[in-house]
Structure formats: C-alpha cells, structure tokens
C-alpha cells in the first residue's frame, strides 16, 4: 500500500477538515449565515493580499481573474507590456490580443526572471504603455520574479502604468505586499496557496486602478469588477458564487491567519530550499536561475528519466508533474504550495530515491532526505 | 428541533452521497482518473440535454454560460430579441447591451409567458434579428414558457435566427429536447436540477450555431466556446475546472440516468401540481398564468404575510424565498427543483400550515397536505 500524495501546483491538497466543511449541507448565498461567512473571508483575504482594498471573489479559474482585471481596466488599443517567461505569462499576452489591446511581448528565456535594467529599457521603449504584466511565480518553469523591485522600477519609469501581477502560485508562498509595494492588480486562484479545490479566483485593484476603471463604461458582464466591488460592500457577489468552495475557504483562511502570513512565506522558502538541496544531493540538476518557493524544478535524470514521473505515481503514490512544450520530457516539477510541511518533503524525496534507484540513476542512498533534513533543522535553529 | 430544509431555486439540496464524494481528496484534472470521469459526465449531459452536440462544462455561474454563448456567437451590432418576462430574462437584455448588441426587449408582464402569435408579430417586425432569447423557466416569477412551440415559431418565421434558451432552472424539471426541437443554444447551472453546489455552468450549441461561431474570430477568452469544444473532444477543459464539483456531478448525473429523464420531468410536474393544490386548499392565491415545474409561486397571505417567510425559516426550518423588485413582500417562491420528492412537499406544506396558523390566516387545518397527497396518489395510479 502507498498513500496517494499530490505534489502538483494546483490542484494542491485540501486539508481534511476543509473537505468535510464543504460536505456540509448547502446554504443559500443570500442568507445571513453565508453573508457572515463572506465577511470573515473578505477580511482574511485582505490580510493575505496585504491590502486595504477589496479582494474580490469570482467563480472562475485564475484565468478568469486575469480576464476580469484586463477587461475592467483596459480599452481596445491600449498598450500592455507582457513579461513573458513561461506558459502562464504567454497566456496573458494572448488574452490582451483577444481583447484588442496592443501586447508587447517581452520574451525572457524560460527558467529566468527579468532584471531591473532590462525592464527599465523596455519601459523606456514604450512610454505609451498603460500596463505591465508580470508573473510572480511562473508555474511552468518554477521561476520567481522579484515583484517588489519590478513594481518600483515601473513606478519610477512610467508612473501611470498599472502594475498587474499574476500571483496565482505566489500568493501564500512568496511575500507579496500589495499596498506597500504599490501594485495595481493582484490575482490568485483557490486551488493554490489557499488550499481549497479549484473554482474560485481572487483579484484586488489599487485605488489608481479603480480610478481608471471608473473613467469608462464596463465592456464586460460576468467579470465586471465594478459590479463585484458594489456587491463586496455587502459581503456578496453579483452572481451566485460557488457556495461550497467559499464554505471551505473560510476554515482554510482561518488556518492561514493562525499560522501568520510571514510564517507561511517562511515555511515555503524552507520547504523549497530543503527540497532543492535534496535534489542536488541526489545528483539531480536544478532547473532555472530564480527558483519559486511554490514549485521546485529539476531536470529529469538522463538515464531512464522518462519513466521517473510515471514510476513515482504508479508505484510510489507520488504525483509530480512533467514539463510543457520545450520542457516536455526534460524537467519534472514538484509543488509544495499550500498544505505542505517538512514531512511531506522528506516523504517525496524518499520516494524519489526509490524511483531513481529503479531507473539506475547514480546517487548515494539516503543522501536526498539527509540534505533536506539538514536544511530544515538549520531553519528551525534560527 | 427542526431539520433545516432548503426550498430555494438554487442552490438546491445536494444528495448526501454527492456531498461526501466531493469531500474525497482532490485529484488532478489532467490525469487519467479525472479524464475518465469527465468522459462519463459529458455523455450523461448529452442525454440530459437531449442532444448529440457537446455539452460544455464551464467553471462559472449560469450567467457565465449565457455570456459564453453570447460572445462566442454574436458580434457587435447584431440584433437580439429578448423575451423579457422577469429578472433573469432582463439580465440577458442588459448583457446584450454590454457586448454591443442591439437588444430588442420584448416586455411581457411578469407571471406570464409569451404566446405564439405575439412572438410571430415581434419576429416579423425584426426580420434582421439574428437571435431570440427565451427563458424556459423564469425563476423570479415561477413562469414556464413553451419552448418547443416558440422554437418552431422562430424557425418558421426567421429560419436563420438562433434560438437561445435559458434552461437554468428548466433542465431537469421541464421537457427540453434540444435536437428534436431544433434549439441552437441551451444553458444551465449546476446548483439547479443537477443537484450539486453552484460553480459549474453548462452550454450546448447546435450545428447551425457552431457554423456561425466558426465564421468569425473569437472575441472572448475565458468563455471562448470554440476552445472549450476542442478541449471537450479530449474530455478536458481549456482552464482548470472546479474539480471537486465535477466529482460531485458524476454521481448526481448517475442518479438522474438511473431515474430516467422522462421520469424526472414527470416527478417535477407532479410535485408542482401537488404543491399548488396544497396552496389553493390553504386559501393561498397562486401567482402567474403559466406555472413552472421548478418553482411554485403564491401570493403571501394578506394578513401577516410579511412574517410568513421569516417564521418558516426561523421556527420551522423551511427556507423558501420572497419576491424581487415589484414582487417584494407580495409573493413567496417554493422550489422543488432537483433533489425533492413527495415527502418534501408534504413536509413543506405541513410547516406552512403551522406558520399560517400563527399569523392568523384562515384555512382548514390539514387541508393543504390532504390536497397535495390526493394529487400524488392520483399520479401514482396512472
């Protein structure tokens, strides 16, 4: 027997008591008990986003949150700079084109993050751009972008451009201080750091962004954030929300509030460091130059690497995920976003040692878990 | 002690085994087990919609399904005839305007359905209309529209106009034969006849509609049904779906397949007839001229009527819902859409008798449940 364990960057595992909360009889979304629940949820989401602005809850995937922000804030013909360093970043560029925006796709080699100077140069070339889109944690490559620094660079160079952050796999993993860092749009999804199933997306806009939105008529309906903000004032949503998911969100957020968001960021940093140390100790080459704390990426072993992911799932109960496009059969991605602790990392590394042994990869048995554990103990001593 | 019982037209009650299924550990939406689940779900949805066309599953409320159909099928400037006989119909007219369509709002007095001759006249006045929007079961007023007849009328009068049906509270309650009746768009939501929580919406397009969609470039992204159809071929979705809701949908649809859709329609007709007989027997005046089988509507008793809904919820555990806009404090709506049987109707009527007694309404005790039970027994004898 092997317990099934999910190490995918969304859906991520849902705590058992959250699952059971969602299995309670359904309640009506216009009644007092749901409104009280939503009030608490809304408050906790603001803490999570480090903002005093409303964090709006949409019934959609994270892509819906991006669409909501884009169509609420930008008209046809507006120019958006899209920092494209992976599959998800690529999607926002396509979305801009669909909605008639001029997308300036700045291609950054996969596995890398844009640097300050590079961004400044791009901004200077496009002084008419009204937005800059950045992916905080690019899930397709496990790449972290320094949003604090990039937001400051945009604000210095193009003071009026809106800084739009895909925080889909960063919120709850990486420090993201929306108000303090002067970010205009932050969005995330439910099945990531928030530890509940997919189906909800969240988005917050800055005062600057709301003012821009107010300056023209909405060109969307379901994703009209102006309408969503009105409903938010009454702890409600314009359309029927995914009630059971909101009921799960409440205890998930309470767990997060109890742990404290700075501790959550720290936990993710430690898990990421431990797992990557384990990979290196197992002679697995790390991928990328700027690792995300949400998902750790390594090259598949040259010998038998194609079987590695399958073997892990089939015989060892561990679901990790391969690469996409040019990274197919090249890398594997192990998520530790959300409901994970050190024991999960040790367990995953232990299973990986089994699988690596089977495919004939060369490494010293036990060294992966040893390396990770040393990182964890060291982190605890600080 | 009073058990809490929900009689709202969405969310509707979720069967216990479906709730528990959704509480199982989350699975990944790109893995074999989920794809196999989706394949079964897709097949059953076709049976439910009486169509051989794909029934596409969106992560959204029913409003999202309408937006998906509207933006996938119609360009700016196209003329849509919106048969507006309630709050939900009204919404589709607003949506048309948001997306730059010319909305011809045909106002039908609330509580009434459009008649064939009237529709024919409207169609003749607008030979350039490319769509006609009809609400099969208008939830705000409990009104049924004869879609079979109206679809035929459109086809005879404006052969190329697309017939778009809001089946949000009709699918699973009223006969709706998409292919046989030559309907172009049918949409519904998860928290209605499908007996699962809100968060999924479903939409199917006719061959005629798909051809129209193919003739121009998509102007939407999240709700691009062409993209959704491509993913459907592989039992997938373009974006991360609400996995746990799909996991609940599978056993809910299996229940429906076992009962048989004609039996489900018959059950809803019987429950509706029984409940309305009960209302009449309790000297409650029925509202409207064309009752939906999903939600039964009666006027609140003149004396103490305002307390009736509150009393039912607070002291008797029964959640029904009041009216909206001009019907606020005028009517109450009792849903029997989805997971309901005769015992539920008798229980609701029993509780209503208690509440009516308390507010001093005049009626003969026991006569409500008696009248309903006579309808149920008579239906069983057939």
Q: What is the pLDDT of residues B241-267, one digit of tens each?
A: 999 999 999 999 999 999 999 999 999
Sheet containing A200-205: give its strands across.
Answer: A55-59, A200-205, A185-189, A162-166, A129-135, A79-84, A102-107
What would the two tokens of residue B65 be?
């399904």
Q: Would you call A60 and B99 a contact, using CB atoms and an 8 Å cutoff?
A: no
Is A191 close to B26, i.e. CB distance below 8 A?
Answer: yes
pLDDT of residue A254: 98
Of B95, B198, B244, the CB nearest to A240: B198
Pairing label, strands B143-144, B137-138: antiparallel
The kind and range of the H/E element at A144 are: strand A143-144
Whether residues A98 and B222 touch (CB distance < 8 A) is answered with no
Which of these, B321, B350, B351, B324, lies nearest to B336 by C-alpha position? B321
pTM: predicted TM-score of the whole model, two decimal places = 0.95
Query: What chain B residue is nearest to A76 in terms of C-alpha separation?
Result: B219
Interchain contact, A197 vs B222, CB within 8 Å: no
Specify the DSSP element, H or E, that contains B225.
helix B225-233
Question: Between the CA of residue A91 and those of A140, A207, B148, what are the distances in Å?
Answer: 12, 26, 41
Is A197's CB within 8 Å of B243's CB?
yes
Confidence at residue A218, expressed as pLDDT on a 0 to 100 scale: 87
Q: What is the DSSP letter of A291?
A: B
Q: Give the residue from A345, A263, A333 showing the smallest Cα distance to A296.
A: A333
pLDDT greater than 80 at residue B343: yes
The pLDDT of residue A25 is 94
Query: B91: Cβ–Cβ under 8 A, 6 or more apart, which residues?
Result: B63, B66
Q: Are strands A318-319 and A5-6 parallel, antiparallel or unpaired?
A: parallel
Mean pLDDT for the stretch of residues B111-131: 98
* Residue of chain B with shortest Cα separation from A29: B11
Lookup: tokens for A146: 């320094």
Local confidence band at B1 (pLDDT 50, 70, 90 cut-offs) = confident
- Residue numbers in A near B242 (CB within 8 A): 197-199, 242, 245
CA dist., res. A267 & res. A336, Å (int): 10
Task: Tell me if A132 sits within 8 A of A162, measured CB to CB.
Answer: yes
Asked whether the beta carbons of residue A189 and residue B240 sit closer than 8 angstroms, the reply is yes
State how far the Cα of B221 lies from the Cα of B270, in Å rounded to an integer: 42
Mean pLDDT computed over A314-326: 95
The band of B346, judged by pLDDT with boundaries at 50, 70 and 90, is: very high
Closest chain B residue to the Cα of A13, Cα to Cα: B26
CA distance A290 to A145: 7
> Over the stretch B49-102, which tens digit does the pLDDT of each residue have?
999 999 999 999 999 999 999 999 999 999 999 999 999 999 999 999 999 999
What is the spatial distance between Cα B198 and Cα A257, in angstroms, rounded to a whole number?
26
Q: Inspect the interface and report whether the beta carbons of B221 and A23 lie closer than 8 Å.
A: no
Confidence tier at A252 by pLDDT (50, 70, 90): very high
Give tens-digit pLDDT for B292-302: 999 999 999 99
Cβ distance A20 to B23 less than 8 Å, yes or no, reads yes
Chain A residues touching residue B63 (CB < 8 angstroms): 221-222, 239-240
The pLDDT > 70 percentage for chain A reads 100
Cβ–Cβ gap B242/A240 under 8 Å? no
Q: What is the pLDDT of residue A306?
A: 85
Distance from CA of B28 to the nearest CA of A (A): 6
The per-residue pLDDT for range B163-214, each reduced to its tens digit, is 999 999 999 999 999 999 999 999 999 999 999 999 999 999 999 999 999 9
Which of the residues A5, A6, A11 would you substitute to probe the B interface, choosing the one with the greatest number of B C-beta atoms within 10 Å? A11
Q: Closest residue of B to A58, CA-based?
A: B60
Domains detected in chain B: 16-259 (3.40.640.10), 261-381 (3.90.1150.10)
* Beta-carbon pairs below 8 A across chains A and B: 171
B382 pLDDT band (50/70/90 cuts)?
Answer: confident
Residues of chain B contacting A13 with CB distance shorter than 8 Å: 25-26
| Peptide bond before residue A251 is cis, with ω within 30 degrees of 0 | no
């Amino acid at each position: 027997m092997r317990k099934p364990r999910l190490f995918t960057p969304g859906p991520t595992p849902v705590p058992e008591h959250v699952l059971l909360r969602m299995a309670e009889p359904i309640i009506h979304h216009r009644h007092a008990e749901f409104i009280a629940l939503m009030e608490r949820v809304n408050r906790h989401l603001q803490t999570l986003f480090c903002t005093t602005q409303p964090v709006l809850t949409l019934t959609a995937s994270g892509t819906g949150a991006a669409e909501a922000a884009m169509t609420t804030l930008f008209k046809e013909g507006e120019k958006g700079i899209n920092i494209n360093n992976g599959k998800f970043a690529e999607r926002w560029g396509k979305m801009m084109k669909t909605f008639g925006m001029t997308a300036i796709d700045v291609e950054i080699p996969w596995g890398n993050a844009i640097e300050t100077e590079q961004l400044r140069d791009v901004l200077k070339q496009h002084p008419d751009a009204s937005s800059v889109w950045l992916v905080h944690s690019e899930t397709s490559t496990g790449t972290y972008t320094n949003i604090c620094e990039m937001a400051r660079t945009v604000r210095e160079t193009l003071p009026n451009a809106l800084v739009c952050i895909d925080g889909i796999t960063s919120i709850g993993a990486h420090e993201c201080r929306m108000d303090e860092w002067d970010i205009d749009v932050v969005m995330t999804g439910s099945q990531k750091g928030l530890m509940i199933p997919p189906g909800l997306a969240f988005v917050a806009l800055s005062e600057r962004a709301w003012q821009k939105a107010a300056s023209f008529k909405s060109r969307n309906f379901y994703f009209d954030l102006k309408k969503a903000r009105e409903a938010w004032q009454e702890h409600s949503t314009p359309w029927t929300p995914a009630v059971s998911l909101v009921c799960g969100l409440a205890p998930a957020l309470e767990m997060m509030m109890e742990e404290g968001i700075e501790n959550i960021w720290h936990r993710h940093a430690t898990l990421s460091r431990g797992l990557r140390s384990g990979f290196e100790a197992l002679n697995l080459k790390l991928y990328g130059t700027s690792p995300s704390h949400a998902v750790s990426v390594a090259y598949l072993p040259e010998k038998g690497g194609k079987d590695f992911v399958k073997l892990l799932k089939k015989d060892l109960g561990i679901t990790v995920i391969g690469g996409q496009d040019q990274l197919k059969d090249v890398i594997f991605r192990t998520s530790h976003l959300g409901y994970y602790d050190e024991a999960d990392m040790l367990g995953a590394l232990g299973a990986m040692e089994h699988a690596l042994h089977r495919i004939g990869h060369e490494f010293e048995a036990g060294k992966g878990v040893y390396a990770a554990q040393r990182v964890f103990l060291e982190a605890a001593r600080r």
